[in-house]
Amino acid sequence: MDQEKRNQRSIDPATLAMLDRAEAEGLETAWDRHDRQEPQCGFGLLGLCCRNCNMGPCRIDPFGGEPQKGVCGAGADTIVARNLLRAIAAGAAAHSDHGRDIVEALLHASTGQSPDYQVKDRDKLAALAGELDIAVEGRSAEEIAADVAQAALEEFGTRKGTLAFLNRVPEKRRETWSKFGLTPRGIDREIVEVMHRTHIGVDNEYVNLILHGLRTALSDGWGGSMWATELSDVLFGTPEPVEGVSNLGVLQENEVNIIVHGHEPTLSEMIVAAARDPELLELAQSKGAEGINVCGMCCTGNELLMRHGVPVAGNFLQQELAIITGAVEAMVVDVQCIMPALTSLADCYHTEIISTSPKAKFPGAKHVPFEEEKALQIAGEIVKIAVEGYPKRNPERVFIPKEKMEFVAGFSVEAILSALGGSLDPLLDAIKEGSIKGIAGIVGCNNPKITHDHGHVTLTEELIKADILVVETGCTAIASAKRGLLLPEAAQKAGPGLRAVCEALKIPPVLHMGSCVDISRILVVAAAVANALGVDISELPLAGAAPEWMSEKAVSIGSYVIGSGIFTVLGTVPQVLGSENVAALLTEGANDVIGAAFAVETDPLKAAVLIVEHISDKRSKLGLP
């Protein structure tokens, strides 16, 4: 591979070192497969292919020629809007089904059905119970948890008309949602209705379709995702600032390395616990290993680092590279963003890919079904498989890049409030007087279409330089962790105003708020700031960005973020440009309806300019300097 092409793949030295290693070993990665997909299908890129019925598949000529209509008569606007809605539904379903799993875990913990799980944060449980009008006086945590879990389950197929957490939404925003029919009525219901409306011959009007898409996304952000976050905190503890180490250099040459990869904390929490079992540690030593090193990857990594400071080996595009180190005994996976490519790659090494969810099996993986009832026991069995694989490691093929970087994470809403001394006022004052110009949430995936980590890191660095406080989740936060931006010392890279605030509070200029469902934490902060100032979220100097997004979950996230009133810049082009009307609605028209819209900008430097200008505009409208 020529140097120019190599250097366009990533800015992360550990990743580049592993890509060289992959090439030397003749192993393919997502970047190679992306090259082989080029040029990608134009109809697909533009959202102009419809496979929703068997009169088709149908395509619309994007250059004005024939055909301009599918067999049913659907034109570009209808087809593009329907495809967008189905992506939102898939993304909302992924987050919300993750949320449901956490709700069920709490329910089973409360009934004693899964004794390995207990309520860890009783204060948070009591606060949630208060929000839900559930009695707490004289009741045990288990009794309260059971009622909270039941109330949460009710949200999925709700019959009471709307979602509980809408009480957190500023009144003006709720009025806007009500006016345009955007108030989510139930988590599962909106997703089902997407599938109904996008069936042949139902909703054909693109504006009506997209309004429902926003409602579905809002049921994710203020519903499924928010429940996942809140109840994970109840079960596993609300994150507090914690130190950790990131990047592939966290893998240990003389220890059993286990990577937990995927999204839900239920299993990974138990793996972390099982890896501390003295019997398993003794077994590891008998196999010649110095210890058992559990590392995270993607959002499972984020869940664990937020609560325990567990090392994180990397973000989405590094999952294959971890295996190519030759030093991973087991990669334990559950759901979402786990590449099917892992198993054939693991065949080239001693690494076991261990699937655990009945929802996600992988040809070639060892399947160890995870059951909450026997959680710790199963986690122990999984750790044992890894330990027993240690002697099969071929030391001659081990190649662990040296790069690793310390970080501080764990900034839940509660942790931010505590860092501020218990009230939002210091943050509000800093925003009002202008030392902090605004807040930007940068989130999302990796995508071989964008130089790995370049989108995240460049945008983050540009924004903190402009005195914009950055809050992050998911693969963005891991990119910043690897770059050292999650350290208090990174305040030196910030503008003078933000730097002074960070140094006074001893916080980094970039706050890691968790996994991708934890974007709900960012919504809570945005709503709290709006409520404190008595304005709508859309009036605040806020922005969102997803510089390297790729998943359908990101489509849902982007939609609930603009639906909540926050301008959002996308770093890869969404599959909607086949309809000028849909594209115009999403990037301009939406401003008139919900007070926010998307922008698309693949260059992070230009994206930063858009966000700085937007925040400056919002500040002047609020009369702030």
Partner 1 sequence: MKGNIVVDLEKCLGCHSCEIACAVEHSRSKELFQAVAERPRPQKRVIVEGCGGSNLPLQCRHCEDAPCVRVCPTGALVKEEIEGVVLLHDHLCIGCKWCVLACPFGVIVAAPDDKVMIKCDLCQERAKAGRLPACVESCPTGALQLASTAQLAGTKRREFLVEYLQDR
* Cα atoms in the 13 Å half-sphere on the side-chain side of 204: 9
Minimum distance from CB of 39 to partner 1 (Å)? 5
Nearer to partner 1 by Cβ, of 326 and 571: the residue is 571
Is the preceding omega at residue 57 within 30 degrees of 0, hence cis? yes
Residue 35 is encoded by which pair of tokens?
A: 């090259």
Q: How far is CA 132 from CA 36, 136, 185, 417, in A?
A: 52, 11, 16, 22
Task: Look up residue 514 and give its amino acid.
Answer: G
Minimum distance from CB of 229 to partner 1 (Å)? 35
549 binds partner 1 (CB under 8 A): no
Minimum distance from CB of 414 to partner 1 (Å)? 42
Rounded Cα distance between 137 and 347, Å, is 56
Rounded Cα distance between 314 and 296, Å, is 8
588 binds partner 1 (CB under 8 A): no
153 binds partner 1 (CB under 8 A): no
161 binds partner 1 (CB under 8 A): no
63 binds partner 1 (CB under 8 A): yes
Rounded Cα distance between 260 and 271, Å, is 8
Q: Which residue stretch of 54-62, 188-196, 314-322, 588-596 sits at the interface with partner 1 (rule: CB under 8 A)?
A: 54-62
Minimum distance from CB of 42 to partner 1 (Å)? 3
For residue 538, what is the DSSP state?
G
Pairing of β 366-367 and β 330-333: unpaired
Q: Where are the beta strands (DSSP E) in 168-254?
A: 242-246
Q: Which residue stretch of 14-22, 55-63, 131-139, 611-619 sits at the interface with partner 1 (rule: CB under 8 A)?
A: 55-63
Q: How many Cβ atoms are within 10 Å of 143's Cβ, its own excluded?
A: 15
Binding mask 65-104 for partner 1 (x = CB under 8 A): x---------------------------------------
Nearer to partner 1 by Cβ, of 458 and 579: the residue is 579
Minimum distance from CB of 3 to partner 1 (Å)? 21
Nearer to partner 1 by Cβ, of 169 and 555: the residue is 555
Check: CB of residue 466 under 8 Å from CB of residue 612.
Answer: yes
Minimum distance from CB of 38 to partner 1 (Å)? 9
417 binds partner 1 (CB under 8 A): no
Tell me how many degrees the CA angle 526-530-533 measures, rounded to the nearest 5: 145
Nearer to partner 1 by Cβ, of 166 and 577: the residue is 577
Find residue 314's DSSP bridge partners.
297
Q: Which residue stretch of 61-69, 110-118, 196-204, 335-343 sits at the interface with partner 1 (rule: CB under 8 A)?
A: 61-69
Check: CB of residue 480 under 8 Å from CB of residue 456.
Answer: yes
Minimum distance from CB of 600 to partner 1 (Å)? 9
363 binds partner 1 (CB under 8 A): no
Nearer to partner 1 by Cβ, of 45 and 360: the residue is 45
Q: How far is CA 372 from CA 109, 225, 228, 265, in A?
A: 9, 21, 16, 12
* Cα atoms in the 13 Å half-sphere on the side-chain side of 457: 18
Residues that bind partner 1 (rule: CB under 8 A) add up to a total of: 16
List strands edge to edge, sheet with 256-261: 366-367, 352-355, 330-333, 256-261, 292-297, 312-314, 242-246, 405-409
Helices (H), 336-420: 341-346, 375-389, 413-419
Q: How far is CA 83 from CA 79, 90, 247, 282, 471, in A?
A: 6, 11, 36, 54, 30
Nearer to partner 1 by Cβ, of 63 and 161: the residue is 63
Binders of partner 1 among residues 196 to 215 (CB under 8 A) are none
Nearer to partner 1 by Cβ, of 68 and 492: the residue is 68
Find residue 58's DSSP bridge partners.
50
Nearer to partner 1 by Cβ, of 282 and 580: the residue is 580
Q: CA torsion sign, 318 to 323 to 327 to 328?
A: positive
Nearer to partner 1 by Cβ, of 429 and 588: the residue is 588
- Rounded to 5 degrees, what are φ and ψ at 407? -150, 165
Binders of partner 1 among residues 32 to 51 (CB under 8 A) are 39, 41-43, 45-46
2 binds partner 1 (CB under 8 A): no
Q: Which of 71, 153, 360, 577 binds partner 1 (CB under 8 A)?
A: 577
Nearer to partner 1 by Cβ, of 309 and 578: the residue is 578
Nearer to partner 1 by Cβ, of 59 and 307: the residue is 59
578 binds partner 1 (CB under 8 A): yes
Binding site for partner 1 (CB under 8 A): 39, 41-43, 45-46, 59, 61-65, 573, 577-578, 580
